[in-house]
Amino acid sequence: MNELTLVVVDDHPLFRQGIVDTLSLEPGFRVIGQASHGEIGLETIRSLVPDIAIVDVNLPGMNGQQITHELGLDKIRTRVILLTAYDDAEQTLHAAIAGAAAYCSKDIQPDELVEVIHNVSLGQYVMARQTMARAELEIWIEKQLESARRSYSEPGNPYHPLSEREIEVLNCVVGGMSNKEIAALLGISHQTVKNHITSILRKFNVEDRTQAVVYALKRGWVKLHQDSPTRSHYDS
């Protein structure tokens, strides 16, 4: 069996060291890096390209979902397991949309975490305590979104606060495009794209692109692109 390389990103030193120590004792695992800050964690993963990154959702600087999203845009093969102290359905959906391979509560038992890592290394996804293949995950995401839409959507065209251009930008974000790619596609400047995204976040009262996507998807204002939820560089 090939050795699995891992990076751990968590801002609580004792918790982080506990994960590192636990995984270092596991046969076939090798922890090759760790970090305590979002941006540093992202750069560590980019430079080391481990098989698996175990990342806290709440970090100083860039959060875990933003790290996951950026790795997806960079087409880095590392699969991300997000750990959270707040395990709820909406946050799990955020994680799946961002491209995480797994989303687990921080009270997970060590043997359960080891099992999740093994499953993720085999190309599976672990969400809401379910282990799924990619096709199953896509079905799960659609069911979660459909359930949420029943609460938010109305017949006809529900009101939304975005301009036509902002909807175009948001649809590009749903498709996993970077600001540079959006600018090229729409024929506008990079700064204009940033301005539109800032406006979208403000109008939705959310903190990042992933939350904006989930907010709009739940209300039926945009559609999930076929390859967006798990647009995978992992399958190659």
The C-alpha atoms of residue 46 and residue 71 are separated, in whole angstroms, by 8
Give Cβ neighbours of residue 139 (< 8 Å, ≥ 6 apart). none
List the structure tokens of 203.
């109008």
Beta bridge partners of 210: none
The C-alpha atoms of residue 142 and residue 132 are separated, in whole angstroms, by 14
Summarize pLDDT for 119-129 with one digit per residue, the tens: 999 999 999 99
pLDDT at 152: 47
**Cβ contact 144:93 at 8 Å:** yes
pLDDT at 230: 40
Give the pLDDT mean for 24-42: 96
The C-alpha atoms of residue 94 and residue 234 are separated, in whole angstroms, by 19
With both helix axes pointing from N to C terminus, report the angle between 209-218 and 134-152 in degrees, rounded to the nearest 10: 60
Q: Could you tell me where the beta strands, DSSP code E, fall in the chain?
A: 4-9, 29-35, 52-56, 79-84, 102-105, 125-127, 130-132
pLDDT at 160: 67
For the question of whether the overall pTM of this predicted structure is more than 0.85, the answer is: no
The C-alpha atoms of residue 9 and residue 83 are separated, in whole angstroms, by 10
Give Cβ neighbours of residue 209 (< 8 Å, ≥ 6 apart). 66, 69, 173, 197, 201
pLDDT at 143: 86
Domains of the chain, each with CATH number or no CATH: 4-132 (3.40.50.2300), 156-218 (1.10.10.10)
Q: Is the pLDDT of residue 159 over 90?
A: no
Cβ neighbour number for residue 79 with a 10 Å cutoff: 24
Which DSSP state fits 37?
A: S
Summarize pLDDT for 68-105 with one digit per residue, the tens: 989 998 999 999 999 988 777 778 888 998 899 999 99
Strand-by-strand arrangement of the 125-127 sheet: 29-35, 4-9, 52-56, 79-84, 102-105, 125-127, 130-132
